[in-house]
Structure 1
Amino acid sequence: MPYVEAAVRRRQFIAAGRAALAVHGVAKTSLRVVAAEAGVALATMQYVFPSKEELLRAVIEDVVDEIASVLADSAVTDQGLENAIRYGLGAFWDRLVVGGRELQMLQYELTMYALRTPGHEDLARHQYQRYTAVVADWCRRATEQAGTTVGVSFDHLARMIVAGVDGLILQYVCTPDDARAREGLNALTVMATALARS
C-alpha cells in the first residue's frame, strides 16, 4: 500500500466518517464501519483516530467549518441589511438544505451527541457560536456599508436568525416542501429586519 500523508489520510477518514454517519447514524457507526467505508484496515484507521469519540469530534468540527464557510460566503453585504439577510439565507438554503437532508440530520444528531457525551458539550456550544458569529458579521458589514444602524446587538439579531433557520430546517427535514420553506425564509427576513429596526 502506498504511503499517504497523515493530513490527507485524516481528511479521507473524516469524509468516510461523514458518509457512514449519514447512512448508519451515530449509534451504529463504529471505527470498523468507517474503516470499511474508507477501504482501509481497522488498524490504519485507529492510528489516526484511536477512538470513535475522537473521530466524531473531528466530524463535528468539519461539519461546522463547512456550514460556517457557506454562511460566510452567502451574503451580499453591499445592498443593505434586508438584502444581506434575504440573499444570505437563500444561498445557504439552496447550497446546504435543498438536497442536503442527510447533512442536516447528521448536524442535529452530532449536536445531540455532543450535548449528551461528557467532555464534548463544548462542541455544541462552539457550533452555534460559529454560526452566530458568521451571521452577525455579515449583518454588521451590511449595516455599516449602508450607513445605517440597528436597534439591537448584532449578536442578538444573529441568534434570532440562526434560531429561525434551525426551526425551518427541522420542518423541512420532516416534510420537504419548497414553497413553504421559501415562505418561511421570506417571513424570517421580514421579522429579522423588523427586529433590527426596533
Structure 2
Amino acid sequence: MARMPSAERRRQLTEAAIRAMTRDGVPNTTTRSIAAEAGVSLSVFHYCFESKEALLESVIEAITEHYIAVVRQALRPRGTLRETIRAGFQAYWDHVCTRPGEHMLTYELTQYALRRPGLGHLARRQYEMYSATFRELIEELRAATGFAPRVPVEQLARYLAAMTDGLTLNFLVLGDAAAAADLLDTITDHVVGLVDEGPGAGTAGAEGVGAARCL
C-alpha cells in the first residue's frame, strides 16, 4: 500500500465514511466497514482516528465543506444584491438536489449523537458550525459588496442556518421541488429586506439566476 500523508488519509477515510453511512445508515456503519470502503486496513483507521466520535466530527465538517465550497464560489457580486444572494441559495439547493442522501445523513448524524450518552456535544457542534459558516459567508459578501445588515450578523447567520435546515428537511420528507423553489425566492426576498445595499452590491451586466430545481 502506498504511503499517504496522515491528513490525506483522514480525508480518504472521512469520504469513505460518508459513502458508507449514506448507504447503510450511521448505526449500521462500523469502523471495519469504513476501512473496507476506503480500501485500507483497520489498523490504518485507528491510526487516523482515535475513536468513532472523532470520525463523526470529521464527517460533519466534511459534509458542510462540500456544500459551502459551491456556495462560496456562487456568491460573487452580480447585477443586484438579490441576484447575488439568490445565486448562493441556488448553489446550495443544487447540492441538495444532486446529493440528497448526503444531506439526509446530516439529520441522521444529529439524531444519532443526541440519542447516545456523551455524544450530544457533536450535535451542538454541528449546528454551531452551520451558524458559524453562514457568519463567514455574510462577512465575505459584506466585504465584497458593502451591504449593511439591519440586524446583528450573528442573528442573521442563525436565521439563515435555521431556514436552510428546515427547508432541506422539508424537501427530503415531501419531495416537493416546486414548493421549495417558491420558498427559496421568499427567503431571498426576506434576507434582502434585512440588509441595506452598499455601493458595490451589484455589477452591471451580470447574469441572473434561474428558479430552484431538482434535476
Q: How far off is 1:158 after superposition? A: 2.2
1:19 corresponds to? 19
SS of the residue aligned with 2:26? helix
1:62 corresponds to? 62
- Per-residue CA deviations over 1:168-188 (Å, capped at 9, x if unaligned) read 111111132322221110011
Q: How far off is 1:103 after superposition? A: 0.9
Q: How far off is 1:63 after superposition? A: 1.7
Pairwise CA RMSD: 2.6
1:190 corresponds to? 189
Q: How far off is 1:118 after superposition? A: 4.3
1:34 corresponds to? 34
Give identity over the alignment, percent: 37
Q: Does 1:161 align with 2:182?
A: no
Q: Within 5 Å, which residues of 2 pair with 1:1-198? A: 1-77=1-77, 79=79, 81-94=81-94, 96-140=95-139, 142=141, 148-196=147-195
Structure 1's 149 and 11: CA in aligned 2 closer, same or farther, altered over 3 A?
closer
SS of the residue aligned with 1:28? coil
- Per-residue CA deviations over 1:41-72 (Å, capped at 9, x if unaligned) read 32332232243222222212222333333333
Return the alpha-carbon distance in structure 2 between the equivalents of residues 82 and 151 of structure 1: 15
Q: How far off is 1:119 after superposition? A: 4.3
Q: Which amino acid aligns with 1:191?
A: H
In the superposition, the TM-score normalised over structure 2's length comes to: 0.76
Return the alpha-carbon distance in structure 2 between the equivalents of residues 188 and 174 of structure 1: 20
Return the alpha-carbon distance in structure 1 between the equivalents of residues 43 and 53 of structure 2: 16
Return the alpha-carbon distance in structure 2 between the equivalents of residues 17 and 164 of structure 1: 27
Consecutive unaligned residues of structure 2, counting only runs of 5 or more, are 197-215
Checking the alignment, whether the CA contact within 8 Å between 1:139 and 1:154 is kept in structure 2 is: yes
Q: How far off is 1:147 after superposition? A: 5.2
Q: Count matched residues.
A: 196
Q: Which amino acid aligns with 2:74?
A: S
In the superposition, the TM-score normalised over structure 1's length comes to: 0.82
Return the alpha-carbon distance in structure 1 between the equivalents of residues 3 and 152 of structure 2: 51
Return the alpha-carbon distance in structure 1 between the equivalents of residues 19 and 147 of structure 2: 44
2:199 corresponds to? none
Q: How far off is 1:23 after superposition? A: 0.7
SS of the residue aligned with 2:25? helix
Structure 1's 187 and 196: CA in aligned 2 closer, same or farther, altered over 3 A?
same
Consecutive unaligned residues of structure 1, counting only runs of 5 or more, are none
Q: Which amino acid aligns with 1:53?
A: E
